[in-house]
Amino acid sequence: MTSSTLLPSPAPAADQPAPTPAGASVTGTRLALADDLLTLLRTTTTEPRPDEQLEALTLAVAADLPVLLWGEPGIGKTAALTQLAASLDLPLTTVIASVHEPSDFSGLPVVGDDPAVQGVPMAPPQWAVELVRAGRGLLFLDELSTATPAVQAALLRVVLERKVGALHLPPGVRIVAAANPRASAADGWELSPPLANRFVHLYWVHDREVVVRGLGGVWPRAELPRLQPERLAEAVAFARRAVCGFLEARPTLIHRLPSTETRRGGAWPSPRSWEAALTLLAFGTAADVSREVLALLVRGAVGDGPGLELLAHLDRMDLPDPESLLADPPTAELPVRGDLRQAALEAVVAAVGARPERARWEAGWAVLVRALETGAPDLLVAPAAALAGLRRDDWEVPEAVERLAGVVGVARRADRSVERSAERAAAAADAGRATGGRR
C-alpha cells in the first residue's frame, strides 16, 4: 500500500457538481421502469354491470344510513369503498377505529381563558375538521370490530348524530364502516348492541365473475340509484303502510334484543332499525330495485327473521283483492310468480268460503278457468279441490268445472306417478343397504 492511498480524496470545486455514484443512474432508471409497470397494473376501468351487493350499498348510502360491511379479510371491502368514493366523486376519509382513543371521536377538552363563563369546548380531530371544510365526503370507519368497547361507545354519537366533539358533520357526509367477524379479526371484539343497532349490516362476499373480470382490469361501476320523481310520494306512502301494517300484526317484533352476544352485534329489530327499514323500502320502491337487493337491505336493517317476515308481508300486499277477482273473472289479473298466483287463488277460495253463495261459488270456478288460461295448470289442484268442497247439494255444477276436470285429473295423476317413483326409489335404496351393496 502506498502512502497516497491513506490521503483523503480532494473535495470537488465549489462550481462543479459532486460526482454521481457509478450505479445511481442505472438504479434510478430501473425504479422508474418499475413505477411505470405498477402504474399499468393499477390502471383499471369500470363498467355498468348488475351487482346486488354494490347496488344495496349505494342505495343505503343514498338514503344517508350508516352501513357496516362484514366480510373476511381480503374479500375486497376496502377496495369496494375506495371505488365507491371515486365513482360518486366523494373525497374518502379513512379512520382506523382500532388505533384511536375515545377522545379522538368525543373530542379533546380545550381550556380557554375563562372556562367558568365560556365552558370547556371539546376540540374535534383534524379529519373531522377537513370533512366539515369540504362539506361532503365518505367517512370510512375501518376495522370496527377491533375497536375497544370504550372507542365503540365514543363512536355512538358520530354514527347516529354525526357529531365529533363540538363539531357537527355536514349532511353531505356519508358514513360506511367495515369489520371482520370476531373469529378472523385481529384481537377482535363483538360490537356493542347500541352501536350495532345504528348500522345497516351488509355481508360482503366475493363473486367469481366480478373478481375474474376485475383482475382483468374491469370492475363494476358503483352508481347511485335512479329515483323516479313521479314515484316519490307513492313510495313513501307504500313504505309507511307496509311497515306499520306489519308491526300491527306482529307487535312483538317492534323491539327484540337477541339473547346472545354475537347476535346482538348484528342486525336486530328496534324502533330505530324499523325506521331504517322503512327508509330503505321507500328508496327501493322509488328506484324500482330488485327483490334480491331489497331483501339484502331489509334483512341488514332488522335481521334475517323479521326481515323475511316483512318481505312475505309485502308479497301479500301485492296480491289482488279476491273480491275484485270474483267480481270480474274474465278480466282477472293474476300474479305471474307461481307462489303468489297460488296464494291469490287460495284467497279467492277463502273469500267464497267466508260468504258461500251460489253466484260467488260459480265466479270462483270462473277465476280458476282464467288461471288455467294464463298460467300453469298444476297450481289449480289444491284450490279446485277446496272450492269443490264448498258445494251445496242444491248447486248445479257449472260448465267451468268441465274445463278444469281433465287438467286437474292429469295433474293429480302426475303427482301420484311422482310419488310412486319416489317410493320405488326409496325401496330400492333400502334393499341395497340391506344387502350391503352385494350382487
The pLDDT, as a whole number, for residue 5 is 41
The pLDDT, as a whole number, for residue 113 is 62
Q: Is residue 16 in some structural domain?
A: no
Write down the mean pLDDT value for the chain: 83
What is the C-alpha to C-alpha distance for residues 293 and 303, in angstroms, rounded to an integer?
15
Least reliable range by pLDDT among 63-67, 94-98, 294-298, 308-312: 94-98
The pLDDT-based confidence of 256 (bands split at 50, 70, 90) is very high
> How many angstroms separate the Cα of 118 from the Cα of each of 13, 110, 112, 121?
64, 11, 7, 8
Is the pLDDT confidence value at 363 over 60? yes
Is the pLDDT confidence value at 435 over 60? no
- 423 or 94: which carries more pLDDT confidence? 94
What is the C-alpha to C-alpha distance for residues 100 and 164, in angstroms, rounded to an integer?
13
Helices (H) and strands (E) in the chain, counts: 19, 11
Q: Is residue 22 in some structural domain?
A: no
The pLDDT-based confidence of 1 (bands split at 50, 70, 90) is very low
What is the C-alpha to C-alpha distance for residues 59 and 280, in angstroms, rounded to an integer?
8
Do 155 and 216 sit in the same domain of this protein? yes
| Residue where one domain finishes, among candidates 302, 318, 334 | 318
Do 67 and 191 sit in the same domain of this protein? yes
Q: Is residue 117 in some structural domain?
A: no
What domain count does the chain have? Answer: 3
What is the C-alpha to C-alpha distance for residues 278 and 231, in angstroms, rounded to an integer?
16
The pLDDT-based confidence of 421 (bands split at 50, 70, 90) is very low
- 357 or 405: which carries more pLDDT confidence? 357
The pLDDT, as a whole number, for residue 423 is 53
What is the C-alpha to C-alpha distance for residues 95 and 138, in angstroms, rounded to an integer?
11
Name 199's Cβ contacts closer than 8 Å, sequence gap at least 6. Answer: 66, 67, 68, 159, 177, 267
Do 297 and 328 sit in the same domain of this protein? no
Do 142 and 209 sit in the same domain of this protein? yes
The pLDDT-based confidence of 431 (bands split at 50, 70, 90) is low
| Residue where one domain finishes, among candidates 220, 252, 272 | 220
Per-residue model confidence as pLDDT tens digits over 14-71: 555 555 565 567 787 889 999 999 999 988 888 888 889 999 999 999 999 999 999 8
Is the pLDDT confidence value at 252 over 50? yes
Q: Is residue 190 in some structural domain?
A: yes
Do 328 and 305 sit in the same domain of this protein? no
Lateral strand order in the sheet of 92-96: 92-96, 136-142, 172-179, 67-70, 200-203
Do 88 and 193 sit in the same domain of this protein? yes
Do 208 and 61 sit in the same domain of this protein? yes
The pLDDT, as a whole number, for residue 145 is 86
What is the C-alpha to C-alpha distance for residues 57 and 140, in angstroms, rounded to an integer?
13
The pLDDT, as a whole number, for residue 274 is 97
Do 196 and 141 sit in the same domain of this protein? yes
| Full domain range(s) for residue 78 | 46-106+122-220
Q: Is residue 26 in some structural domain?
A: no
Do 53 and 144 sit in the same domain of this protein? yes
The pLDDT, as a whole number, for residue 288 is 92
| Residue where one domain finishes, among candidates 318, 346, 375 | 318
The pLDDT-based confidence of 186 (bands split at 50, 70, 90) is low
Neighbours of 99 (CB within 10 A): 12
